[in-house]
Structure 1
Amino acid sequence: MSTIRPTVAVLAVVARSDQVLLVRRANPPDQGRWGFPGGRVEPGEPYREAALRELEEETGIAADAPALITVLDFIEHDGEGALAHHFAMIAVRCRWLAGEGLAADDALETRWFDLAEIATLGTTASVKVEFLAKIVLDSR
């Protein structure tokens, strides 16, 4: 039996006009890939507050009105098949208020992408980026 416990984390999915904000990750998992700002939920911290905090820490973007989109499991195994990581990622839609996005904390860079640009990212994007972007942009 594995001693690895699932880690609860958030993804802040922010739309502005017909674009979503992505960051290129500085650290594992998904180091060097484009994904949504986010990170671990701190003990005692509601997931909505965690999403707004992570968004501000990584990008300087101000947002409000966090709302649950979905929860995604990211489970990875090592070369022998043993569990290496398990993240329960809570995807949260946030309403953009201000800021352009300046890379900070564990983000190498930030950029606003439309769906056509996201479709060209291929393996340089984290899993489910296009899926979540479509949900948020199509629901406007």
Structure 2
Amino acid sequence: MTVRPTVAVLAVVLRGDEILLVRRANPPDQGLWGYPGGRVEPGEAYLDAALRELNEETGIEANAPALLTVLDFIEHDTAGALAHHFAMIAVACRWRAGEGEAADDALETRWFGREEIAELGATASLRVGYLADLALSARVP
């Protein structure tokens, strides 16, 4: 079986000095805190996908999406064969409305300060702190 990269988005939403995280309901990262997001649909622009996934998972409305970075998550099975490859496009978004209600792929939503994110440790997905730092330094206008 050939494994092809899956293109997905992460919506990194800022509200003042707070950042929105969701606790994931499904694999990958089931039960961990991370950013709302999911697969880019065929024919969908990645910026639109980030806003759509954000709204589907949390009910939050945002605007001003801007590319933060692209992260590769590549996993191999025990035999060394490629098992998964996700190309995750992280998009900074400016909060417009909504407090965040868990829906779709989210068990829970919460606004975090940067220090609180640092304290999540193993309960957070990989690179959550890194993306928080990028978003806070970018400050989407």
* Fold-level similarity (TM above 0.5): yes
Is it true that 1:117 corresponds to 2:100 in the alignment?
no
Q: Which runs of 4+ in 1 moved over 3 A?
A: none
- Inter-partner Cα distance in structure 2 for 1:136 and 1:67: 10
- Give the equivalent residue in structure 2 for 1:12: 11
RMSD over aligned Cα, in angstroms? 0.9
Whole-angstrom distance in 2 between the partners of 1:58 and 1:139: 24
Distance 2:72 2:65 in 1: 20
Query: For each residue in 1:66-99, what CA deviation from the matched residue of structure 2 results, as whole angstroms up to 9, or x when unmatched?
Result: 1100100000111222111100000001110000
Query: 1:118 and 1:131 mapped to 2: Cα distance?
Result: 10
- Establish whether residue 66 from structure 1 lines up as the match of residue 65 from structure 2: yes
Residue 139 of structure 1: how far off its partner (Å): 2.9
Give matches, 1:51-90, under 5 Å: 51-90=50-89
Q: How does 1:25-64 map to 2 (within 5 A)?
A: 25-64=24-63
State how far apart, in whole Å, the 2-side matches of 1:128 and 1:73 are.
11
- The alignment-based identity, stated in percent, is 76
Q: Give the residue type in structure 2 aligned to 1:44.
A: G
User: Which residues of structure 2 form unaligned runs of 5+?
Assistant: none
Aligned positions, number = 139
Query: CA-to-partner distance for each residue in 1:26-70, whole Å, 9 max, x for gaps?
Result: 001111100000000000000000000000000000001111001
Separation (CA, whole Å) in 1 of partners of 2:28 and 2:106: 12
Matched letter for residue 53 of structure 1: R
TM-score (normalised: structure 2): 0.96
The one-letter code matched in structure 2 to 1:119 is A
Per-residue deviation, 1:130: 0.2
Answering whether residue 106 of structure 2 is matched by residue 107 of structure 1, we say yes
Q: In structure 1, how many angstroms separate the alpha carbons of the residues matched to 2:137 and 2:41?
A: 31
